[in-house]
Amino acid sequence: MAPIDLRSDTVTKPTPAMRQAMAAAEVGDDVFGEDPTVNRLQEKVARLLGKEAALFVASGTMGNQICLKAQTAPGDEIICEQGAHFLHYEGGALALLSGAQPRALPGKSGILSAEQVEDAIRPPTYYYPRTRLIALENTHNLAGGVIYPLAEIRRIHETAKRHDLKMHLDGARLWNASIASGIPPDEYCRYFDSVSVCLSKGLGAPVGSVVAGSVEFVAEARRLRKMFGGGMRQAGILAAAGIHALDHHLQRLAEDHANARLLAEHLHKMEGVQVNLDSVQTNIVIMDIGGLRLNPTGAAEKLASAGVLVAPFGKTTLRAVTHLDVGRQNVLAAIEIFQKSFLS
């Protein structure tokens, strides 16, 4: 029997219907802008996000890094939360590709306040780096899938406008934030100059992200995509999976959120395990097993041998992520395995 894989929502596999859509996709050369399926995906995402244009890219890392480089120059500074994905999980690409530096601030559950951002903006003195961009993450991965409050985004946007700063949204799991909060994606995105969204996490597509913004921004993003080696040719086969995911897998994200909550509540009741239930707002569950005196790597190996895959996520924590390929019965089975493994 295959293990119940809760390591990430990136482990999802294309459904049979998605594979059919991929096989039937009309294709062309996307570097020439001639792949009709890629063009349909880009137009669809731009419309959903309320932006003028969009660009299909190979990954979330590529999407973020294109957005960051397109809006900064070497030596510029980017204000972000200290747990930002592009700081920890993108291989140091910000330094290598953009030559920009982060001004990483400690947020509350991954959330910065407008006051923190205001205080971090550099004065226009020649020996300071130039503050150029504010980057936020919604949902916030390291904080456990926490949704960025729209009211705070608006306040930060007002701060950015006063100081003539650009704003970028790492929206890898923006779809989750939108479904959980009931706030449309375009309402979140209207406050940002650039947005990166992922198709290959909760939506279940095999490959790809999309960046969006103004026509001018996307033209620069296309140039950078080519520079970064991301110009794909007959990419409509992949874009078709993204279109299918948006048409059929968006609303069902609510199931993942309900499954994550069920898992979190059961884990929280186990002796020696702590879960901050307030942070379980979407499909990510971070459990602190410090009370069990278990090493996270050893605990993950023990769970794997029993049939559940999770990811070590800190000195005393493990992460579990619910997704398209994990149903309610899988979660209930996983809960039993957690109980046996943690209590034995």
For 150-183, write each residue's pLDDT tens digit.
999 999 999 999 999 999 999 999 999 999 999 9
Higher-scoring residue by pLDDT: 219, 293: 219
Please give the share of the chain, as a percent, with pLDDT higher than 70: 100
Domain regions of the chain by residue span: 13-248, 252-343
Number of other residues whose CB lies within 10 A of the CB of residue 210: 28
The answer as to CATH 3.90.1150.10 being correct for domain 252-343 is yes
Amino acid 293: pLDDT = 85
Fold: same for 13-248 and 252-343: no
Q: What average pLDDT does this structure show over 309-323?
A: 96
**How does residue 141 score in pLDDT terms, banded at 50, 70 and 90?**
very high
**How does residue 342 score in pLDDT terms, banded at 50, 70 and 90?**
confident
Terminal-residue alpha carbon distance, the chain: 22
Digit-coded pLDDT (tens) for 36-76: 999 999 999 999 999 999 999 999 999 999 999 999 999 99
* Cis preceding linkage at 139, omega within 30: yes
Burial of residue 161 (number of CB atoms within 10 Å: 0-12, 13-18, 19+): exposed
Residue among 137, 158, 157 at smallest CA distance from 147: 137
CATH top-level class for 13-248?
alpha beta
**Residue 337 structure tokens:** 């395995």
